Chains A and B, each alone.
Chain A
């Protein structure tokens, strides 16, 4: 067995193209995943004392519904493989739309499907991270905030949020790294991300060792960047 360094050099431009796409999917996916995660995470504890006063009037059924919808979403996503979610979104979902709404041309770009899959998948896990951090905020602090006469929104924005965020960062870093690596699964729907590019180069030159070693190192570099960014955020926060 011989190790040809030149194979690596020749493959780099294509692999970098793939790495770029991996970044795009990851960043768009975890950005959307944060929004979904915060909404579903708070939704799952809507109307409970973790978020201030218990609701009254119309807000009682609204909060119950919010809790059920959020829990259903989280459990549905966590309970199914991400690769099935991607397949469903790319192949089955457009068929459903065409059939149900008789929109003949409706189709979904593979890249769009990839980004949405990461968004909802990361969103479900981030929801659990958000919920866990919020319910770990000491009850006395919530009562102290309420006793000053602030609104629920102010309570969440200025008391619960800032305290919970510090506890979210380590598990969020973990989830971001998982989501980045999950993008390699989109090889199955033909998105030209890093793993797919590696696979294509491999198919033409059969240099498995050089190619997969390089691909692995590029993934490692990208996950390191994510980890270091989060550690930087953690350090910048006031310690208390």
Chain B
């Protein structure tokens, strides 16, 4: 299987503080990678570097065939290939659910409204929200908003989906509905996914690979079940004992 994302010796600094140290990381087409790690370990920064919401400070990023920093003018093409779902949903508050989902196809892919709306409606249906198409984000629950946000990212027809703690801002009873949608995407469409989450059940059921980060480095990686059962580093043992208690 070929790699759709490759990071070679990447460092990322904010001002003088380096928060990612010499990361080597690759994701194969169709793979589901789950990233865990304590707060501040650089999980968000790592996946935000993939779609260039953060610019890498050194090293090389290759998405599909596009190389960063050499081809910095092609960032938009990377973003068409890589969708993202955020912890805080970030739906456009002035657009209905349908308009939110149709926005990407219309503006980024240049579709007409008449072409984009059926695509959007189909995706809203897939995430179980066709009946809510005319609601504004403010009229939806957190779980519903996040499902619309997933549909919005999928609507651009990306080859990779990034999820940054998609269920962390949700009330417990809504976490399941969002995870179910994510499981379906992984299973049905064989989507390549990079997921930052502390939902260990999701990691072991859906994940092909689990990555543990600490202090801006990848400390351990492997099959989710094995990594969780036999953590080698003390830091991961410690981290897992904390996660399990929640």
Interface residue ranges, A against B (CB under 8 Å):
53-54, 56-57, 138, 140-141, 143-151, 154, 158-159, 162-163, 166, 238, 240
Contacts and interface: CB of A to CB of B under 8 A. Distances in A.
Given A148-B107, A149-B79, A149-B104, A240 B53 contact: no
B77 interface: yes
Contact of A53 (B75, B92, B104, B136): B75
B79 A240 contact: no
B80 A140 contact: no
A67 to B, nearest CB: 20
Interface string B48-92: 000111010000000000000000110111011011101010111
Nearest to B156: A148
Contacts of B79: 146-149
A240 B55 CA distance: 33
Given A143-B86, A147-B83, A158 B107 contact: yes
A234 B103 CA distance: 24
Given A140-B86, A240-B94, A158 B103 contact: yes
A173 to B, nearest CB: 20
A143 B90 contact: yes
A56 B55 CA distance: 11
Contacts of B84: 143-144, 147
- What's the dominant secondary structure at chain A's contact region? helix
B4 to A, nearest CB: 16
B190 to A, nearest CB: 21
B176 interface: no
Nearest to A162: B94
B166 interface: no
A144 B77 contact: no
A163 B86 contact: no
B83 to A, nearest CB: 7
B195 interface: no
Nearest to B88: A140
A144 B83 contact: no
Given A162-B94, A163-B94, A144 B136 contact: no
Interface string B78-116: 011011101010111110000000011001100000000
Nearest to A166: B94
B153 interface: yes
A154 B107 contact: yes
Given A150-B107, A158-B103, 10 more contacts: A56-B72, A140-B88, A141-B90, A141-B92, A143-B84, A144-B92, A146-B79, A149-B77, A150-B76, A151-B76
